[in-house]
Amino acid sequence: MPSALVTGSAKGIGKAILLALAKHGYDVAVHYRRSHSEAQEVATEAATFNVKTTVLQADVTRSDEATSLVQQAHDAFGRLDVLVNNVGNYHKGPLEQLTNEQWHGMFDSNLDAVFYTCQAAVPLMRGLDHKNQGGRIVNIGFAGAENLIARPRSVAYVIAKTGVILYSKALAKSEAVNNITVNVVSPGVIENSVSQPIEDIPMKRTGTFDELTSAVLYFLSPEARYVTGTNLQISGGWNL
């Protein structure tokens, strides 16, 4: 049975993605940093789909912990087919008030964590049976991050997410020969988003967890085995 690690899967988008994977037959590693009880509840819910689960704690902004997390997920199931990088803090505020700590924090959680986990996962995925699907990596981005425009109130966050897209493309090109695909799903305003500027969304509504998880599942499907280095925006036309 294939297995998957979803970072930040105790709550919100990460939880929705992990449960969708469990529903589709993946053994799942629930990752958390501080939300232990919530992670245990997610694992219990995932187990109702008759899959194996494990609950793992790590601060993925630390390279040693991120690397250990990936290895533990692999060891729990004997393989690691899927990595979904969902962790990523958000900051919005006046540029003149942006502190060094906030700046580095956006890069630590949104970009560095992706680099650490991917670099640890790729060697493990290279050993998968190439006659099957191979390894799949999906990184969660941000709708519009590839548009190089001024965003002074969320500059650190958006720069980090633009970095996720560029890194994902580079990794996709490097690992295509090893049958590992790397893609990005970039949500706009989703049902649990902190800010919900409905008036700015062309479709005049927020996106749903189901719409987001469907995009992730597409990249994991047999139909997407020739799709890599792609950024799929789930945004209702927002930030185009």
Residues noted as catalytic:
157
Judge whether 8 and 86 are in contact, CB under 8 Å.
yes
AA letter at 240: L
The residues near 157 (Cβ < 8 Å, ≥ 6 apart) are: 89, 90, 91, 92, 106, 110, 142
Answer whether 150's CB lies under 8 Å from 116's CB. Answer: no
Alpha-carbon gap, residue 25 to 9, rounded angstroms: 17
Which 3 state secondary structure label does DSSP give 140? strand
